[in-house]
Amino acid sequence: MLSSRDEIIDKALDRFYKDEKVCEIPNSLPIVEELCKEKLASNTFADMEVFFVQHHLGPIIPRIRSMINFRLDASRCWFVDIPYSTNSSVRD
């Protein structure tokens, strides 16, 4: 685990500016994950329906992964997106 919030932000910004795979969906969002660990109970999203409205769904995938760590059941998520998705990982 990183020792300070500044370190977490520095790591996220470093990846943002140096990442050559811009179109790849990130596996995690370290800042979101640290904030969740500090502020949320481990079962925050248990038994909850979640409705997401977003133009492109690719950026939301790591957020959903973080929510799953707090007991979100992905089968209870509903999405509004454009009629197609330009990212094959999102389509899958």
Domain hosting residue 51, numbered range: 5-91
Q: How far apart are CA 61 and CA 5, in angstroms?
A: 23
Q: What is the tens place of the pLDDT at every residue in 41-64?
A: 889 889 988 887 776 666 777 888
Q: Write down the mean pLDDT value for the chain.
A: 75
pLDDT at 69 over 80: yes
Provide the percentage of residues in the chain whose pLDDT is more than 70. Answer: 65
User: Does position 1 have pLDDT exceeding 70, yes or no?
Assistant: no
pTM for the complete prediction?
0.45
Which residue has better confidence, 47 or 3? 47
φ, ψ of residue 87 in degrees (nearest 5): -110, 120
Q: How many domains does the chain have?
A: 1
pLDDT at 67: 86
SS3 of the chain: helix, strand, coil, percent, to 5: 45, 10, 45
